[in-house]
Each structure stands twice: as structure tokens, then as C-alpha cells.
Amino acid sequence: MAQPPEDLGAPPPADYTPCWTGEARAIDTDGDGKADRVRVSVQGRDRCYGEDANHDGRIDTWDVMDESGRLTKRAHDSNSDGRVDQAWTFDPTRRGCATVSPDADGDGRPDPGSPVDICQQLSAPAAAPPPTAAPKP
């Protein structure tokens, strides 16, 4: 895919090489005439996926798979402005675990305090609730 169409939505990041070098197929799953999904194959294997996750008619999520078909990276436009504002990196040693680097201010760089390790956040012990005052007699 040399250049995605202008109305496609957020383009895949430049370093998502399989998204730019493979053979792309756009798929309209809801019959509205707009691509809801894009699959990019490299040497016959699907290596990149684009999806309109919020169903607004524009691709907002790009996933890259490694040669074995495992998800390695995700770029997501969470606020529909056409720019990626979340970069996910998946850990091949912890299935389904990722670190997320948000860019809420839109400067193209991860925000201070990121990345966030999703699995670490989910497995962290919950904070104890504040003590309640004993009822008065």
C-alpha cells in the first residue's frame, strides 16, 4: 500500500513496514460503501490489519503481526481526529499483555508517565478502601 486513500482515516504509522509494503484489501462489512477493515498481506500472509473500531466510516486502529501471526504492535486513534494517539506494544513472552504509550496532547511523542504496562496494572493489588467511621451510639 503505497499511500492510503485520504478518506480512509488515520494512516498506519510509518514504521509499520508490513502495512506499507504488502498487498492491501479493503473490506466493507456493513454495506455502507466505506472500508471497515483493511488487510495487508506480505508474501501471502496477513501481516497488517486496519479497522474502523468505532464505526464512524474511518479506519482508526492498525495492528501489525510478526511472521508467525502474533500481534506485535497496535496504533489507535481514540478521539477520531485522524492521528494516532495510542501506541501499543505487545509482549511476546506474555500473551495478550501490552504496554500502551498515550499521546493525549497530540505532539507525536508519548506523554510523561507512559508507557503503561496493562498486565501490570491489571494484576496490581487493589487499593484498600478508606476506613469508615464507626457508627455513633
Helix/strand/coil (H/E/C) assignment for every residue in 27-89:
ECCCCCCCCCEEEEEECCEEEEEEECCCCCCCECEEEEECCCCCEEEEEECCCCCCCCCEEEE
pLDDT score at 73? 94
Cα of 101 vs its chain's centroid, Å: 10
Give the confidence band of 5 by pLDDT, cuts at 50, 70, 90: low
Average pLDDT over residues 116-137: 64
pLDDT score at 40? 92
Closest CA to 102 of 82, 71, 74, 64: 74
Q: Return the minimum-mean-pLDDT range out of 22-26, 62-66, 67-71, 131-135.
A: 131-135
pLDDT score at 15? 85
- Mean pLDDT over the full length of the chain: 83
pLDDT score at 52? 92
pLDDT score at 128? 52
Residue type, 58: R
Give the confidence band of 92 by pLDDT, cuts at 50, 70, 90: confident
pLDDT above 70: percentage of residues in the chain = 82
